[in-house]
Structure formats: C-alpha cells, structure tokens
Amino acid sequence: MSEYILCELAGATYAIPSIAVRYVEMIEQITPVPNAPPAVEGIVLSRGQVIPALSLRARFGFAPQPHTLRTRLVVVASGERVVGLIVDTAREFARIDAAAISPPPAAISGLSGSYLEGVATLGQRLALLLRLDEVLKITDSLAPDAGPDEGERDHGILQPTEER
Amino acid sequence: MPTSSGESQFFSEFLDDFFAESEEHLALARRILLSLEEAPDEPGLAQIDELFRAFHSLKGLAGMVGVGEIELLSHELEALLRALRMGDADLSDEMLGALIGGVRLLEQCLVARKTGAAAPPVEATIRALADMTEGSRSAPTTPTAPGGAEPAKIAAALAQGMRVWRIVFTPSASLAERGVHVNSIRERLLALGELLRAAPQVSPGGMLTFDFVLASAAPERAFDGWAADGLAVAPYTQPAAPSAPAASPAPPASPAPPIPAGTVVRVDLERLDDLMRMVGDLVIANARLEEQIAQAAPLLPSADARALYDLVGAFQRQTRSLRAGVMRTRLVPIGESFGRIQFMARDLARDLGRQLAVVIQGEHTEIDKFLVDWLMDPLMHLVRNALSHGLEPTQERVSLGKPSAGRLTLRAAADGEHVVVTVADDGRGIDIGRVAARARAHGLLAEGEELAPDHILDILCAPGFSTRDQADRVSGRGVGMDVVANAVHELRGALALETVAGQGTTFTLRLPLTLAIMDALLVAVADQCFAIPLSAIGEIISLEPGQITPLERNELITHRGAPLPLVRIAQRFQIAGALHHGYACVVGEGGGAAALVFDRALGKREIVVRPLNDPLVAQPYLAGATELGDGRVVLLLDVAALLRPASAARES
C-alpha cells in the first residue's frame, strides 16, 4: 500500500510516489534558460529556492499547451535534486495497493518503457506510475548538442555543489 | 565511530576541539620542519624544542579522546625529538624525511578520523621511527595501552594513602535503559574520589569502552556488585613503560609559552553561513522595500516620500556594512594553505629526486574560509602538475644553464572584490605542439587546425585530457586540469594560463571574495532581463550606427583606439527582437577584452546569488540566478564563459 499524487497529462493519469513530492503549487513566472534542453521551460522561484521547471508534456513528446489556471507545478525531490514538473493539473491523492500494479506492457517500447514503473488500475481508469529518476535523467535526445569545449559535463548527472 | 547515542554525544563534544587543536599543532610542526629543511645544518635548539612540544601536545590530545593511532605516532615522533634534544642524535637528512613523513601520516590519520574512514596503517612508520630513535627501542605492543595517566598524580595520590583503581566501563543498550551510562558512572566515581583519567577507547572490534583511573580512599568493597553495571574494576598498574626515557623522566621541557588571553573565538562555519544567509534575506527585503516605496511615493506628500527614501537609504547602508562585517569574520589568511601545499610540494620533490625552491608571496592575504577549503584541491593539483610536467629534472636544468633547483611560486593578492592566486614554475613551459597533437588524437582539434594560444587552456581542461600516457603517482589517475577548471568554475572564478617555452608556466586563479552576495548590472535584451557581475564590467558604452565593422562572422568596434570584438547576448542565446544598436559593456582584459551587447541597462542591484547546478539548467555561461524580490528570477551571466572564442560556443 503506497501513496501517490495523481496528475493529468494530455488526457492520461500519471502517478508520482507521494514520498518524493514536496508540494504542488500554481505557476507564477518562469524565466527561460537559453540553450537548455527543449523540455525545460526555465527556472522558477519556489518557496525561496530557484528550481528548474520541466514540462512533462514536452518530456513525453506531447504537443505544448499554454498554461491555464489548472496548470500545476509538482515539486519533487530525487536524490540531491529538487525539480518542478509542469503538469496539466494535479488534484488527487491515491493509495495504491501493490497488487493493483502490473509491470509496463511489453508492447510499450522505446522511450516510454524506461520511465514507467508500472500500470495501476484505479476503478475505471488506468494510472501510469512514474520513475522519477528516469524522468529527470538528461538523455542525449533531451540535451541540446554540446559544443566541443563542454563535453560530458552537461550530460550525466552533475554532483550538485554542497550547500554549506 | 560505532557508539550508542549517549556516549557519542559525550565523545563528539571533544572531537571538534580535538581536530581544531590538532590542526594547529600540525601546522606549527609543518612550519618548523620546512624551515629546518631550508637550513638543515643548523637546527636551532628552540626549533627542536618547539617541534617536540607540538608532538607532545598532540600526543596528550589524542590520548584524551582515545585516538590511539595518533597518540602512538606522536609518541614516536616525540621520542625521536627527545633523542635529538638530549644530543643523542644529529638531525640527518634521513631523520628529517622521517619526521616529514610522520607529520603527513598524522594528517592522514586526522582526516580519516574526521571523515570516519578507516585509519591508514601506522605500524610500519611507528617501527621505522622507533628504530631510528637512538637506543632503538621496540615499538609498543598494545595499541590501546593507556598512556596519558599522569604518573605524578598517581604518585601523589599513593603518597596520600589513597588507592588507585583502573575501571573500564562497557556501555550497552540494556544498561542505558537502567540509567547506567557514562555520565552516571562518572558521577558515581567522582563520589568516591578523584578521577585522574577518563578516556573513551575503541577496541579493535570497534566497541567503545571508557577507561577511568580513580584515586580513592574508599575500601575495595565499595565496588561490590559493579560488574553487573558493565564495570570492570582492578587495582591500577602502570602500563609497561613504552619508552625507556619515560621511566627516567626527561628534563622537563621549558614550559610552553602561555596561550595569549582569549581574544580568539572559534566559530563554527555553519553559524557564519547562517548569518550570511540572513544578511542575504535582509538584502532582498531591502530591495523590496525600496520598490514598494517607489510605487507608493507618487501618492504621498513629497516631504513624506523624501523621509521614506532617506530611511530606506540608511537601511541600505547599514545592511551593506553588516554584510561587510559578516564577510570579514569569515576571512582567514591563505598562509596556512600555502604552508600545507609547500609541505606537499617538498615531499613530492623528494620523491622525484628533484631540488625545489618554493617562493611564497602574499601569505597574509585573507580569503573566505569556505574558499580556502575549496581551493586546496585545485591548488594541490596545479602544484603537482608543475612538479611532474613543468620542472625539468636537475641534470637537464643544469645543462640548460638554469639554477639547479626548480622554482615554484605561490602568490596571493587581494584585488577589490576578488582574490588572485597564482601558481608559477620556471620549468620547460607547455609544449604547444604536443598538446595540439594530443588534442587531435582526442578529437578536440580538427586535423590541420592550428592551436591558438588562448585555446590551450580549454584543451588542457577538457575532461580526461592528459599529456602523459601513463598516469604516474604524481599527477593522480585520469583526473586532470578539468578538475581544476570545474572547481574554479563552481566558485564563479576565472582561470588563466601563461606559458613561455623554456621559461615556465603560470596559472592564475581569480576568485570572488564571497559567493553569496554581489553587485550586478541588470540589463534588458528584447523582453528578457539578465544580471552581469559588476566587478566584471569596465565601462558601459553606447553603440552608434556606422561604428560597427562586420568581419566574417564577427563584428568589431573601435574603442579607445583599439579594436574590440562584439559579443551579442541576443545572438548567443537566440533571442529574437533585440536592438542592433543598443549598449554594450566592456568586459575582460587586454587581448581577451570584448564588448557585451544588450538593449539597455536597467540599473545596478545588490543581488543574492543562487546556484544553478541542476543538470537540467546548469550551463557553462550561467553563473547562477537571482530573484529580484518581486518573484521574478533573473539569470546571472558568466562573463568569462561568454567571452570564449565563438568556435567553442554553441552556435546553431
């Protein structure tokens, strides 16, 4: 029995482990970051911290959509990182029994396979369980082409500097 | 340290002080050893005395907190110095080497204790030191032999007709539940007499026990039933004397100089960080207040508005001096790091069989304590590079007509809001041809492309790049200049390189004095706003039509009689709708100078810098981000990265 935050994205329901979710808030201002991966909308100031805002629509290859009053920023912590995920909306909280979770169908190939933990049935609908570390991973397809002088530094997960 | 909570509390209270004091003694020992090495023929008795005292104090400290390996090692070093003081031995080169090695091992032991890593093996060194000591005694056998109990105190207690007991307490969870823990045991013992010694000990199995020596007039039955409380009581017997001189006490050392009256307060760096954070919040609150007043001013009678402006101005000045004050408390002289680096350099030169003269300048320059800790690794790396790649072997130097000893210069100087640290050698210089060849082999340089001098550093700092085919002990393994470049970049500093074939290489690190707060110029480019560190800006100029000369993919203007390339922020960041003739600020120096073009300046602001280190947004040309107090976030540009040759920048 684990707890999840449910988000809507392009008509589907995604579930994020609630233990990783710090809070959900509305989006105010986003400052774009030039040359960042296309799915990164920019940085936002959230509760005194400057964090990246990642559009899950773009990350999963859906068409962009202007932000509305229902758009939410789901702020998640993964390891040392804190990142805001932009979703169409996020309003529900669900307890999902491990028995209700099945592994991702083998037919799902390509990208989506790696960030899906599994599929859960919630009454009449399906919820796709996300693997945060995979969602936040910068894959080569996500990152812009690096110039010659900044090789692998921007790819793999950088060690964040120690806050002291 | 595997301990249960109560004891570890008791333990850690001592440890921080122990580390801090031990560092001081080690620093002193390093200084003396360096000066001995400079003039080995005439070791002053005063120096030997001081060195002896440093090791003696270390031994005492280590004994108090039960750090056995440090206690034993200091003990051997002390014994060797005792032999020197008594005139039983002369300071040979070999002995100096052994002392230096011993100090380095002590450092490693301290670091291991600090980080909770396994202690480095010390037995071999201890044996070697013992063999060296005149009268070649065998090394003590039990690493936890209790030293440090004052024989004099014990003798005095016995003379007063008391009995001396050794009590070992082994804590356990079940005892703690009954309220039996080290503090209650102390109480119990103090009620019976005088505690001559209380020290935590770690058994080889990692168990923590507490070792007490008690002088008491109480009869033996006072201890009845103590075994049930995890206590073992036995009459105290002097441990087998680990050293002959201990039995026949050496002439007392001249008393240590009294510690100057308490004008120094040790403050935990974290507390200062907290203060700095609070000052940062204050700066932001200040900016917001100013903005609110600016909005409200038109609605107020002008006298009131002026009074408010005056107030907020005063508030700002006070905040600034508070910030300066907090920053000053964090500053420490760079001298100690230099000393440590010098020590390592000599040790390394010894290993390589080269002669080395180290020149240190500006050791009194003060820099932020946080920077000191950060700087250590990059500086060490540069020094290792200078020794292993830069300085020629002695023979070669002589045949070139150079002084036989290679010269290594460490220099620090304050420069306004920055500190400039240089590491220079007078060696062979960087072989540009060889770097270019390796760069082509690594695919960092196109075939037939020449390596421009200002591009060498980029190549050297490319991850994994090294001009040595096999990593030798000296330069470490697989890590190279990229580590240095990254560290400097993380600190928002700049790294520069000058090299002359046959004459040497100089690396210059330019670092901001503080990381948290800085003055910045806010500029607009189309509808976006950016912050540029004010310290990077020489002046601001307005661009007139007809002033700009296009040149292939670049643009030039003439400024103060010299050509100056334009770097357009809009172009670098693909921002549409920027002005063609806006303003520019002159950044960089000498041949590396350029004009950074933006639409207009929005004003100067004191900003609180937030790091941007998440891989989703970390970019080489961004030094961080800052909030303007109204919820807006603005990117802070890294000018040095923007000025890199366009070929190295991302262009689509």
Provide, as residue numbers in chain A, all residues whose Cβ is less than 8 Å from the Cβ of B644.
149
Residue of A nearest to B456 (CA): A149
Sheet holding B208-216, edge to edge: B193-202, B208-216, B163-169, B231-235
Q: Is the pLDDT of residue A137 over 70?
A: yes
Over 60: is that where the pLDDT of A155 sits? no
B413, two tokens: 């100087």
Q: Chain A closest CA to B359's CA: distance in Å? A: 32
In degrees rounded to 5, what are phi and psi of residue A65? -150, 135
Of A40, A83, A151, the CB nearest to B463: A151
Quick check: B630 pLDDT over 90?
no
3-state DSSP assignment of residue B486: helix
Both tokens assigned to A35: 């040359």
3-state SS, residue B581: coil
Closest CA relative to residue B281, chosen from B440, B443, B566, B516 = B516
Tokens of B250: 């050496």
Contact B612 A43 (CB under 8 A): yes
Q: pLDDT band at B529, cuts 50/70/90?
A: very high
Where residue B410 falls among pLDDT bands split at 50, 70, 90? very high
Higher-confidence residue: A52 or B152? A52
Closest partner residue to B616 (CB to CB) among A34, A37, A161 is A37
CA distance B626 to B517: 10
Q: What is the mean pLDDT of chain B?
A: 78
pLDDT of residue B411: 93
Q: What is the mean pLDDT of residues A14-31?
A: 92
Residue A139: pLDDT band (50, 70, 90) is: low
Beta-ladder partners of B600: B524
Q: Which of A131-140, B230-239, B376-385 has the highest mean pLDDT?
A: B376-385
CB contact under 8 A, B617 and A36: yes
Residue A46: its pLDDT value, please? 85
Residue bearing the bigger pLDDT, B336 or A14: A14
Quickly count: other Cβ atoms within 10 Å of residue B138's Cβ.
9
Q: CB contact, 8 Å: A38 with chain B?
A: no
Contact residues on chain B for A29, CB-CB shorter than 8 A: 631-633
Shortest distance between the Cα of B458 and any Cα of chain A, in A, equals 7
- Please, which residues have CB within 8 angstroms of residue B564's CB and are 6 or more apart in sequence? B556, B557, B558, B586, B593, B594, B595
**CA contacts within 13 A on the Cβ side of B541:** 18
Cα dihedral sign for B285, B289, B290, B295? positive
Sheet-wide strand order for B594-598: B537-542, B583-587, B594-598, B562-568, B554-559, B549-551
Determine whether the interchain pair B633/A45 forms a contact, defined as Cβ–Cβ distance below 8 Å. Answer: yes
Segment A82-124, tens digit of pLDDT? 999 999 999 889 999 888 888 887 766 555 557 888 899 888 8
Contact residues for B308 (Cβ-Cβ < 8 A; gap 6+) = B293, B296, B297, B300
Closest residue on chain B to A43 (Cα): B633
**What is the model's pTM?**
0.51
Beta strands in B293-445 (DSSP E): 331-333, 356-361, 366-368, 406-415, 418-425
Cβ pair B486, B602 in contact under 8 A: no
- No. of helices (H) and no. of strands (E), chain B: 19, 22
B320: its two tokens: 């600034």
- In this predicted structure, the answer to whether residue B323 has a pLDDT above a threshold of 60 is yes
- Cα of A86 to nearest chain B Cα, Å: 14
Query: What does the DSSP assignment read for A130-147?
Result: E-HHHHH---TTTSPPP-
What is residue B43's predicted lDDT score, i.e. its pLDDT?
A: 65
Nearest CA in chain A to B465: A151
pLDDT one-digit tens code per residue, B248-279 = 333 344 444 444 445 677 788 788 888 888 88
- A38-48 pLDDT, tens digit each: 899 999 988 87
Q: Which of B444, B490, B618 sits opposite A154 (nearest CB)?
A: B618
Please report where in the chains the tokens 């030094």 appear, as a residue.
Answer: B623
The confidence score (pLDDT) of residue B15 equals 74
Beta bridge partners of B512: B418
What pLDDT is recorded for position B545?
A: 81
Contact A31 B622 (CB under 8 A): no
**List of chain B residues whose C-beta atoms are within 8 Å of the C-beta of residue A83:** 614, 616
Residue labelled with tokens 């799902």:
A108
Nearest-Cα residue of chain B relative to residue A161: B613
Q: Give contacts of B 552-591 with A, CB under 8 A.
A: 572-575
For residue B514, how far is the Cα from the chain centroid?
15
Given B617, B632, B651, which is nearest A33 (Cβ)? B617
Q: Which of B120, B99, B98 is closest to B109 using CA atoms?
A: B120
Q: Which residue has the higher pLDDT, B211 or B26?
A: B26
Cβ atoms within 10 Å, residue B602: 16
Vertex B48, ends B44 and B52: CA angle to 5°? 165
For position B645, what pLDDT does the model report? Answer: 60
Tell whether the model's pLDDT for residue B524 goes beyond 90: yes
Q: What's the rounded mean pLDDT across residues B138-144?
A: 37
Tell whether A56 is within 8 A of chain B (Cβ): no
